[in-house]
Structure 1
Amino acid sequence: MIRRIVLVAALIIGAALAFLSYGWWGKGPTTEESGVIVAEGTTIGALGRQLAEDGQIGISPDLWRFNARLFGGGDPIQAGEFTIPPGMSAADILDTLQHGRPVQRFVTIPEGMPSVLVQERVQATDLLTGEAPLPPEGTVLPQTYSFQRGDTRAEVIARMQEAMSDTLEELWPTRTSRSVVDTPAEAVILASIVEKETAKPEERRMVAGVYSNRLRIGMKLDADPTVIYPITKGKPLGRRIRRSELDDVNDYNTYAMRGLPAGPIANPGRESIAAVLDPEETEALYFVADGTGGHIFANTLEEHNRNVAKWYAIRRERGEM
């Protein structure tokens, strides 16, 4: 009699284990790749209901919760977006959510991008939600940012602005005696001009040195990008600057005013900010394009005029004049 009871008990236990094994470790019901988004603070029980409703597990939410606690090892569930391959078992889904790498998506803001284009880029980024606000010029740090499906566009832009604030706080103590900016806000304004004037990283400190020299002696900056900014808000002008635009008196036209413009003309990158805080030690006051994407620098107006003549000759050869 005892043997029969033991045998029956063993059969029942075996059947229960087989049932658990099939439902937990057996092939899942999905036939194609799917995704699951786990919100911060989601419980095992709530996750089971979510997976069952989405057809990603073939067991009940209660059985999911029981097995997860029995076999899950107690490791926490990660928040984020995860990819679920076709037929993934409930056990493997739990392991993925505990130890897998969440899906990462990225949006890149290039150095020197104006805020109006930052707004457009974030607005056009799929899988974000809500409207993208227009950040004030110079408040976004250009770099690559990760985001998850369902993040709001406002949250992503806020992270970009926080990164700029953190960078300014980090770099400001590196300001040297050669720097002419008195506040972080002035550093961003001057850095935005440096960013728009040269595409070569190795020239940033030299361009910053030239503009620092001009500001120090009260000379006008004569920076073309500052003339363009009020016209396009930082977007490409698409044509040559007109004489009337060079003569126009406004808070940004550094051909018609001395000192820094009223605000940044773009969102400068970390290296341009660092350049205006520690500009090159130089006597140069002028620079002009050299035909290779860089610039040639000069200490005197006479030398600069010769360099300009060479640049015009290059442009005539190219049919640009």
Structure 2
Amino acid sequence: MSAKSRIFLSILVVLCGALYAVYASSLGKSYPMQSEKQLISINQGDTYTALIDRMSAEHKFTLPVVLKAYRKFMIHDTLKAGVYEIKRGTTVRQVLDMMSNADNAQMNTVMIIDGTTSKQLLQRLKNDPYVKQTIVNLPQEQMMQKLGIEHKNLEGLLAPNTYFYNKGETDQKILTDLYRRQIELLQQAWQKRAPNLPYKNQYEALIMASIIEKETSIDKEMNQIAGVFIRRLQQGMRLQTDPTVIYGMGDAYKGSITKQDLRTATPYNTYTMAGLPPTPIALPSKKAIEAAMHPDQSKSVYFVATGNGGHTFSETLEQHNQAVQQYLTVLRSKKAGQ
């Protein structure tokens, strides 16, 4: 063997050794376990990039750049929601591979985002291959009877959260669990509610919570939004909230509201009607329910978006009009910048 051949062979051996070392300390490394089995939960919408970063921060994965490169070139599907059982000795590569196929999950994840409508939730269950459909395709009246719910409308009565069920669980069991959870949260909040609220019953508080949920995604604003709407009710003002109008439009809503929409009377148009709409308009979170029971104690009766996230709250119409102009200025500035 010539000197050049020996040098080439030596380099090749060193390179192979280095590659093996990288593989052994990343993809080929056993997933760290404290017991023989461990469950890993993946939520709807989670990504491989986020998973790798989180596991690396927790010192479960090493050399994240290698894992991300492997995912990009070797895993040709997205991360699938579910609960996965990892056994001792399973390599990091095997963990990444198994999570691209929901059939490998031990349990099915049912995630309901705060502010989702009951219609969207029912469609989610209809589309889930791991949910046994027994009632979701029935007319709403029959479905409500099957669930043992006295209300005519399912809206607002199901608690948004992330739930885990065995594959093949029935839609009736899932909906019953979500209903019982929401009623429990509502009753607990009702018992601890602030005095002098303008609600006739818990259901009206739930309606208010759903409106709050749709008006803001900022937790610290929920009590302020609740305060504005409660003071409007107490002062005989109309709620004049766009989310109720949108809900009343149903499938006719295409992404924007016109002046004609605001003038068109529906049971949910709070620009044309006084008081609360007849039902909730979405599935409110626990935080929104608690906000509906504990409004802030300011004097604000108006609010408008800032254009940069959040809202500006005002006590007088004059202050509100100024805030509206500021909002429009921000929008024009952003449009000019684009």
Q: TM-score, normalised by structure 1?
A: 0.65
Aligned position for 2:250: 232
Report 1:277-288 matches (<5 A): 277-288=293-304
Computed over aligned residues only, the root mean square deviation of the Cα atoms, in angstroms, reads 2.5
Report 1:46-61 matches (<5 A): none
- The counterpart of 2:120, out of the listed 117, 121, 143, is 117
Q: Which amino acid in the other structure matches residue 310 of structure 2?
A: G
Report 1:171-186 matches (<5 A): 171-186=189-204
Aligned position for 1:262: 278
Residue 286 of structure 1 contacts residue 304 of structure 1 at CA under 8 Å; is this kept in 2? yes
SS in 2 for 1:318: helix
Runs of 4+ in structure 1 deviating by more than 4 angstroms, as ranges, are 81-85
Q: Is structure 2 residue 255 aligned with structure 1 residue 252?
A: no
Aligned position for 2:6: none
Distance of aligned partners of 1:129 and 1:215 in 2 relative to their CA distance in 1, 3 Å threshold: same
Distance of aligned partners of 1:130 and 1:301 in 2 relative to their CA distance in 1, 3 Å threshold: same
Counterparts of 1:83 and 1:198 in 2: how far apart (Å)?
Answer: 37
Aligned position for 1:108: 111
Counterparts of 1:291 and 1:316 in 2: how far apart (Å)?
Answer: 10
Counterparts of 2:115 and 2:261 in 1: how far apart (Å)?
Answer: 22
Counterparts of 1:83 and 1:317 in 2: how far apart (Å)?
Answer: 51
- The counterpart of 2:170, out of the listed 152, 159, 178, is 152
The CA deviation string for residues 227-263 of structure 1, in whole angstroms up to 9 with x for no partner, is: 1112126x9x443211111011221100001110111
Aligned position for 1:169: 187
Counterparts of 1:280 and 1:290 in 2: how far apart (Å)?
Answer: 20
SS in 2 for 1:319: helix
Percent of aligned pairs sharing the same letter: 33
Q: Which amino acid in the other structure matches residue 118 of structure 1?
A: L
Residue 123 of structure 1 contacts residue 131 of structure 1 at CA under 8 Å; is this kept in 2? no
Unpaired runs of 5+ residues, structure 2, are 1-82, 88-104, 141-152
Counterparts of 1:182 and 1:175 in 2: how far apart (Å)?
Answer: 13
Residue 178 of structure 1 contacts residue 278 of structure 1 at CA under 8 Å; is this kept in 2? no
Q: CA deviation at 1:280?
A: 0.6
Counterparts of 2:240 and 2:217 in 1: how far apart (Å)?
Answer: 18
Q: CA deviation at 1:144?
A: 1.0
Q: Which amino acid in the other structure matches residue 182 of structure 1?
A: K
Counterparts of 1:137 and 1:208 in 2: how far apart (Å)?
Answer: 19
Q: CA deviation at 1:127?
A: 1.5
Report 1:1-321 matches (<5 A): 103-131=106-134, 133=136, 136-232=154-250, 237-319=253-335
Decide which structure has the larger Cα Rg and report it. Answer: 1
Q: CA deviation at 1:121?
A: 1.2
SS in 2 for 1:203: helix
Counterparts of 2:165 and 2:220 in 1: how far apart (Å)?
Answer: 31
Distance of aligned partners of 1:253 and 1:82 in 2 relative to their CA distance in 1, 3 Å threshold: closer
SS in 2 for 1:120: helix
The CA deviation string for residues 195-240 of structure 1, in whole angstroms up to 9 with x for no partner, is: 000110110000000000000011000000111112126x9x4432
Counterparts of 1:315 and 1:205 in 2: how far apart (Å)?
Answer: 26
The CA deviation string for residues 264-317 of structure 1, in whole angstroms up to 9 with x for no partner, is: 111111111110111111100000001222000000000000000010111112
SS in 2 for 1:190: helix
Residue 179 of structure 1 contacts residue 276 of structure 1 at CA under 8 Å; is this kept in 2? no
Counterparts of 1:175 and 1:152 in 2: how far apart (Å)?
Answer: 35
Counterparts of 2:242 and 2:292 in 1: how far apart (Å)?
Answer: 18
Unpaired runs of 5+ residues, structure 1, are 1-80, 86-101
